[in-house]
Structure 1
Amino acid sequence: IVPTSKVGKKAAKNNKETLAIICVTDTPTSQIPAEPTYQKGVLACGSNTQALEVPEFMRIEEEKRRRRDEGKLNILSKIKGQQAFYLESGIFFAPTMSKLGMGVTDITGETTNYEYSVRRTKTELFNYAIAQKTASDPLKSYVGAVFIVPTSKVGKKAAKNNKEVLAIVCETNTPTSQIPAEPTYQKGVLACGSNTHSIPYSIP
C-alpha cells in the first residue's frame, strides 16, 4: 500500500494505491524465498527469484471477479454498518438525504460498474448497488435491507426501546441494470423480493 498522486479507478482512499508482484525462485527449493521489495516507485523480486508473469487470461478473469464482487461487498459493508450504527445510536446513518416518493432516497455514489443509492423510512433502510449498463460481461445488482422490528428479547441483539435490528442482502438471479425488488419482513420472516435471492450475510 503506497502513496499515489493519481485520482481515478486505481487510486484508493486517502491517496493510497495497491501494487502487487509474484516472484518464483530461480531453482527448485524448500527454503523460504527472499521477499519482494518496493523502493522509490519500483517493485522488485528478492535475491535468487524473478518476477512471474501472470497470464493474460488470469488477469482478465481477476478483473471480471473484481467487477462482480464490487457491488456485493459494498452493500454487505453498508448494511453491516447501518445495523451496527442503529444498535449504537437508535437511528439510521443517513446524511444529506432528500425526500423522494414514500421514503427518503439519496444517490450515494457511482463507479464504472455500479450506481449506489439508499432509501429509508423510520423503520426500514434499503441500500442498492445497481449495475451500470455495459456492452460486455453484464453484472448482477444487489439490495440490502435493515428492518427495525418489535422484540421481546433483551440482549446484545436487542436495540433500545425493545426493538430488534434485522438485516438481509439479496442478489438478482440474473445480470440486470434494473432496480432490484426490495426485501420484505412479514410475520417474523425476512425474504428477498421477486427475481432475487439471499446471499450469505458476511464479508470475506
Structure 2
Amino acid sequence: MIAAISLPSIIGIIRKPEEYMEGKQNIGVMNRAQQAYQLENNSFANSLGKLMVGISPKTKNHKTSISLGEKAVFHHALAKKDKLKSYFGAVFLVPDKSFQNQLNTEAIICEVDFPLTKKPKHQNGVIACGANTINISH
C-alpha cells in the first residue's frame, strides 16, 4: 500500500535523459556545424536552416536560436521548463597561433540554471562563459 502511494511521486522525480540532454546536444551540433560552415563559406550561418542540421527552433523542452556577433556566432537553447537547464554556445574567429594573418574557429558550450545571462566572450585571447554560467565544453 505504501509503495502504491509513493511510486507516482518517485516517478515524477525521475529525469528523462533526453529532456536533459537535448539542449546541450543541440548546441554542440550547432557549434560544429558553424565551424564547418565558416570554413566553407567564410562566414557564419544566421539560421538553423542554413546549417542543415535538422534541429527545430522550438521543441517541447527548449527554444533554440542563433545570433551573429562581429567575429562570433552565438547559439541559445533556452529551457521551457523550470527543472531544465539552458545552454549557450559560441564559435569565435580567433587569430591562428601558428600562422600570422589567419583565423581559426574556437567553440565553447556554457550551461546555466536560468535563461537570462551574459553570452560567452573572447577576451585577451581566451574564450570564457558569461557571468553565472559553467563551461561544459570538452
Describe the shift of the 1:96–1:127 C-alpha distance in structure 2 as closer, same or farther (beyond 3 A): closer
- Unaligned runs of 5+ residues in structure 1 are 1-55, 98-107
Task: Determine the structure 1 residue equivalent to 2:127.
Answer: 190
Provide TM-score, normalisation by structure 1: 0.54
Equivalents in 2 of 1:96, 1:72: separation in Å?
16
Q: Percent identity over the alignment?
A: 36
Question: Is 1:162 aligned to residue 102 of structure 2?
Answer: yes
Equivalents in 2 of 1:96, 1:139: separation in Å?
22
Q: Select the structure of larger CA radius of gyration.
A: 1
Q: Between Structure 1 and Structure 2, which shows a larger proportion of helix residues?
A: 2
Please list, as runs of the form range in 1=range in 2, the aligned pairs for 1:59-70 lying within 5 A after superposition.
Answer: 61=14, 63=16, 65-70=17-22
Q: Give CA-to-partner distance per residue, 1:6-65, whole Å, 9 cap, x none.
A: xxxxxxxxxxxxxxxxxxxxxxxxxxxxxxxxxxxxxxxxxxxxxxxxxx978x8462x1
Could you tell me how far 1:96 is from its partner in structure 2? Answer: 8.8
Could you tell me how far 1:152 is from its partner in structure 2? Answer: 4.6
Task: Determine the structure 1 residue equivalent to 2:88.
Answer: 143
Q: Secondary structure at the match of 1:143?
A: strand
Q: Between Structure 1 and Structure 2, which shows a larger proportion of strand residues?
A: 1
Describe the shift of the 1:189–1:79 C-alpha distance in structure 2 as closer, same or farther (beyond 3 A): same
- Unaligned runs of 5+ residues in structure 2 are 1-7, 50-55
Q: How many residues are treated as equivalent by the alignment?
A: 125
Task: Determine which structure has greater relative contact order: mean sequence separation of CA pairs < 8 Å that are 6+ residues apart, divided by chain length.
Answer: 2
Question: Is 1:88 aligned to residue 32 of structure 2?
Answer: no
Task: Determine the structure 2 residue equivalent to 1:109.
Answer: 57
Q: Give CA-to-partner distance per residue, 1:124-154, whole Å, 9 cap, x none.
A: 10000000144xxx11100000111233524
Q: Secondary structure at the match of 1:166?
A: strand
Question: Is 1:76 aligned to residue 24 of structure 2?
Answer: no
Q: Secondary structure at the match of 1:81?
A: helix
Could you tell me how far 1:112 is from its partner in structure 2? Answer: 1.1
RMSD of the alignment, in Å?
A: 2.8
Provide TM-score, normalisation by structure 2: 0.77
